[in-house]
Structure 1
Amino acid sequence: MTHTALRALLGVALLAPSFVLVPTAADAKLSTAEVRMAKTVDAEYERSVALLQKLVDQNSGTMNFAGVDLVGRMMRAELEPLGFTVEWKPQTAANRAGHLIATKKGRAGAKKLLLIGHLDTVFEKDSPFQKFTRKGEEAEGPGAGDDKGGMVVMLAALRAMQAAGTLKDAEVEIMLSGDEEDAGDPIEVARADLIAAGKRADVALDFEGLSIEDGKDMGSIARRSSNSWTITTTGKTGHSSLIFSSEYGDGAINEMTRILAAFRKELPEPNLTFNTGIIAGGSSAALDADAVRATAAGKGNIIPQTAVARGDFRTLSPEQTDRVRAKMQAIVAAHAPGTDAKISFDPGSYPAMAPTPGNKALLDALNAVNKDMGLEPMAALDPLKRGAGDISFVASDVDGLVGLGTSSRGDHAPGETVDLDSIRRQAKRAAILMTRLSAAK
């Protein structure tokens, strides 16, 4: 669905008092069904925490295919009793475990909700950080926040809707990828099912973690792209006393230095970051097959023949991505004397999720829920403060909202800690929001 179409779905007067889903009286309260949803989330809180512990204690590092499959089975066991048809889609062609796709029909004409999460974590089987440890209303564990906490919020919201009688009318598709933390290759294969689901959907809701800033919950309506690049420079090798001569030129390392210095000077613009993550140079230099390690050989009295560097850049729109890529290519092409250089861009980049009016409309709808729950409104998070994610693959087809999962800190590192109490408010928000969106004409 286009952004314009979503605004029509939500009502062109979304911010006006007449918006159908937003009570207008100053003392607006939750409906009877919404109160029931909130009570159900509270009543099932310990059940949700117990499920989170079960999910966390099963390792599902991206490359632990058996572990990812087992977490998928656990989620299937929760979703089927809610009326979902669940399918496991193997991803052998992308060298990954697979994805879990669950669908449920709703009333005729109901808006299609796409719920996004992921089964895998960054913690592989050899990580020393493996178990869930509860400490009052917090818990440590691999993936406790990212994204097993998010999946628990999703399930708690759906169970609350079922208890209140609103789930039966909702048209829902759930996409739980098995490789969000390390996408399979080729990415066109690894994300084909997600992209197809986005084209079917009217709204996309991403259950990755809730962002908090200065103690306040934030709404996320944008995510930047993630684009990887590799530069290889070459020069004419010889005795170091001949460097910079007309015959031998600047050498490969100086050419690489010129390029990276020009990036720093010429690329900066709003919402862009760029980084060089690994570099090597000398008489010989090369990256390994995974491009995470480098080898090099050389001596101080030899002009370096080869240098290689790899990094990324992140943008807020496809147009910005194209513009930055063209600038980088032009900088690389302006070779220093006696050198050559080439830049390549990985085909498996994550696209940007731009902050569209439709995404803002969804945040406004969520803030209407917050108002009726007695919670503070959520401002839009600066996209510089959030990384890339799966929802970006559907952002060109459907408007979306990010951050419906749990609040956590220290994600992707030993000691990752989830705020268990955030399950309550996030599941209530999600259940009420999904119910209201499903009821919209």
Structure 2
Amino acid sequence: MKRRILAALPLILVTTPAFAKLSPREHTIVKAADAGLAQDTALLERLVAQNSGTRNVEGVKKVRDMVAPQLAALGFATKWVPMDAVKRAGHLIATHKGKPGTTRMLLIGHLDTVFEPGSPFQSATREGEKLHGPGAADDKGGMVVMLAALNAMKAAGTLKDANITVVLTGDEEAAGEPISISRADLVSAAKHADVALDFEGLVVLDGQDYGSIARRSSGSYTITATGKSGHSSGIFSDDTGYGAVYELARIIDSFRKELPEPNLTFNIGLVAGGATTKLSDDEATITATGKTNIIPPVAIAKGDFRALTPDQIERVKAKMQEIVARHLPLTDAKIVFKEGYPPMMPTAGNRALLDRLNAINADLDLPKMPALDPLKRGAGDISFVAQYVDGLAGMGPSSTGDHTPEERVDLSSFPRQIKRAALLMTRLSREKPRR
């Protein structure tokens, strides 16, 4: 008798319904996410085929014209906010009014890519489960995941009660200046939201999906060193000093030795010095002239640094300024910091959101997502709103080679990311804000 009972157990386990903890509407979301991949891929290929480099204003607007009708069909009221004042295309903002008193969600993505019209990387190629193309992941793939999640919610009847604002910026890859103008609409939307979900790419390391509850800042700086010029035979003398290049080298090497600390990185990306040295208006080129027997009177370096908290940013900037001020004999130097992306700190609210997402992972029989080390990804638009609202980044698809001609999005990651996003938004839409 005991043998018969034990023999029956495997049958009972096999016939247990998949995703048993999901509601009927949530089951509909899962089915819609799986069924829509071909349609999602077709939309992605159309988006990738349209160049929308940040400075390609008309190209960004053409991507807007593909995305805005998708949002309108879902019941969103859409508007375009031009950014002529900062020499950028603008932002697409869409709002969906749901049930009053429930969690207000802000969804963040971007229309632009790093690949301008002059880039040789312009077309999309399907490679099995990959799509190879400019912006295939960052962030056209992210926008498609966002739209597909909203469509899945509509199919299940859970979108109608959701309070959602979508902000798709047109200049995430090179924010227009001043930031106070180019990010004003995003910040305003955050001040009227309870949760922010950023649809840039999912990070996968060694087969493990990670949740992003923090992103470091991104700031840049320019160092200009000056010295007394003269014949090279006089270098290091009391009358001539060390020249601009040695002063700049001292500063850069002192950064290397004295600045390192947890969660901080800093880099020199461009450097030159000589008899004449000039930084271009777009700060992407330094031209220099000189001879080996002339002590250079000027040298310039440009770099960036990334930190996790505002306190760390201010501490590092003060240390950089102290290093710059030491000066070799008969030299001078200054450092100028440029406005950049603030950090998204790993707050308790962000961790609570990841816990919510991991509850969904459990219901979907997916592995738990650990919090990603913020050293593993760069800055993003969600950082501008992090001080106002709890948030999660990395809601888009996984990929490799972002920002390079090897950018490939993993199409197989779309269904699980669509399910995660749609189920999280559905559950949040039924709740009152937690803060």
Common fold: TM-score over 0.5: yes
The residue number in structure 1 matching 2:14 is none
Q: How does 1:91-130 map to 2 (within 5 A)?
A: 91-130=83-122
State the match for 2:372 in structure 1.
381
Q: 1:172 aligns with which of 164, 171, 181?
A: 164
**AA in 2 matched with 1:270:** P
Q: What residue number does 1:417 align with?
A: 408
Letter in 2 for 1:376: P
Identity of aligned residues (%): 63
Deviates more, 1:415-424 or 1:144-153: 415-424
Task: Tell me what 1:181 maps to.
Answer: 173
CA–CA distance in structure 1, aligned partners of residues 421 and 211 of structure 2: 13
Match of 2:7 in 1: none
Question: How many residue pairs were aligned?
Answer: 414
Q: CA RMSD in A?
A: 1.1
Distance 1:194 1:208 in 2: 16
Question: Quick one: which amino acid aligns to residue 361 of structure 1?
Answer: A
In the alignment, the residues of structure 1 paired with residue 406 and residue 330 of structure 2 have an alpha-carbon distance, to the nearest angstrom, of 50
In structure 2, the partner of 1:332 is 324
Amino acid at match of 2:26: E
Runs of 4+ displaced beyond 4 Å: none
Tell me the equivalent position of 2:8. none
1:301 aligns with 2:304: no
Q: Partners in 1 of 2:401 and 2:282 — Cα distance?
A: 26
Q: 1:404 — aligned with what?
A: 395
Rounded to whole Å, the distance in 2 between the matches of 1:341 and 1:404 is: 43
Equivalents in 2 of 1:355, 1:226: separation in Å? Answer: 16
Superposition deviation, residue 247 in structure 1 = 2.1
1:224-249 CA-to-partner distances (Å, cap 9, x unmatched) read 11110001011111122222222221
Aligned twin of 1:360: 351
Q: What do the CA deviations read for 1:111-133 (whole angstroms, capped 9, x no partner)?
A: 11000000011112222222222
Aligned in 2, Cα 1:301/1:129: closer, same or farther, shift over 3 Å? closer
Candidates 255, 259, 263, aligned match of 1:263: 255
DSSP 3-state at the match of 1:362: helix
> What letter matches 1:241 in structure 2?
S
Secondary structure of 2:81's counterpart equals: strand
Structure 2 residue runs without a partner (length 5+): 1-18
2:424 is matched with which residue? 433
> 1-side partners of 2:386 and 2:323: how far apart?
30
What CA distance in whole angstroms lies between the structure 1 residues aligned with 2:238 and 2:407?
Answer: 56
Is the counterpart of residue 240 in structure 1 residue 232 in structure 2?
yes
**In structure 1, what is the equivalent of residue 188 of structure 2?**
196
Local SS of the residue matching 2:65: helix
Aligned match of 1:350: 341
1:132 pairs with 2:124: yes
Q: Render the CA deviation track for 1:377-408: whole Å, top value 9, x for unaligned.
A: 00111111100100000011111101010111
Structure 2: distance between partners of 1:336 and 1:153: 55
The residue aligned with 1:14 is: none
Q: Which residue of 2 aligns with 1:3?
A: none
User: What one-letter code is carried by the residue in structure 1 that aligns with 2:410?
Assistant: D
Work out the CA distance in 1 between the residues paired with 2:140 and 2:319.
39
CA distance, structure 2, for counterparts of residue 159 and residue 323 of structure 1: 46
In structure 2, what is the equivalent of residue 369 of structure 1? 360
Confirm or deny that 1:158 pairs with 2:123.
no
Task: Measure the CA separation in 2 of the matches of 1:412 and 1:283.
Answer: 35
Return the TM-score normalized by structure 1: 0.92
Give the AA of the match of 1:339: T
1:301-343 alpha-carbon deviations (Å, 9 max, x no partner): 2221111110000001111100000000000011111111110
TM-aligned CA distance change 1:302 to 1:127, over 3 Å: closer
TM-score by length of 2: 0.93
User: Aligned letter for 2:48?
Assistant: V
Partner of 2:306 in structure 1? 314
AA at the equivalent of 2:385: V
Residue type at the aligned position of 2:240: Y
The correspondence for 2:31, drawn from 39, 45, 48, is 39
Distance 1:77 1:139 in 2: 24
The aligned counterpart of 1:67 is 59
Pair member with larger Rg: 2
Q: Distance in 2 between matches of 1:71 and 1:301?
A: 54
Query: What residue identity is the alignment partner of 1:117?
Result: G
- Equivalent residue letter for 1:431: A
What is the letter of the counterpart of residue 384 of structure 2? F
Q: What is the SS of the residue equivalent to 2:261?
A: coil
Displacement of 1:376: 0.2
Task: Give the Cα–Cα distance (whole angstroms) in 1 for the partners of residues 73 and 201 of structure 2.
Answer: 25
Deviation at 1:142, TM superposition (A): 1.1
Q: Aligned partners of 1:374 and 1:321: how far apart in 2?
A: 40
- Kindly indicate whether residue 276 of structure 2 is the aligned counterpart of residue 284 of structure 1: yes
The more displaced of 290-299 and 323-332 is 290-299
Matched position secondary structure for 1:184: coil
Q: Distance in 1 between matches of 2:243 and 2:120?
A: 44
The residue that corresponds to 1:393 in the other structure is: 384
1:76 match: 68
**Equivalent-residue separation in structure 1 for 2:37 and 2:269 (angstroms):** 42
How far does residue 28 in structure 1 lie from its aligned partner after superposition?
5.7
Moved more, 126-135 or 315-324: 126-135
Q: Deviations over 1:34-82 (max 9, x none)?
A: 1111111112221111111111111111111111101111111100011
Cα distance per residue 1:88-147 (max 9 Å; x no partner): 111100101111000011101011100000001111222222222222222111111111
Task: Please give the secondary structure, in 2, of the residue aligned with 1:174.
Answer: strand
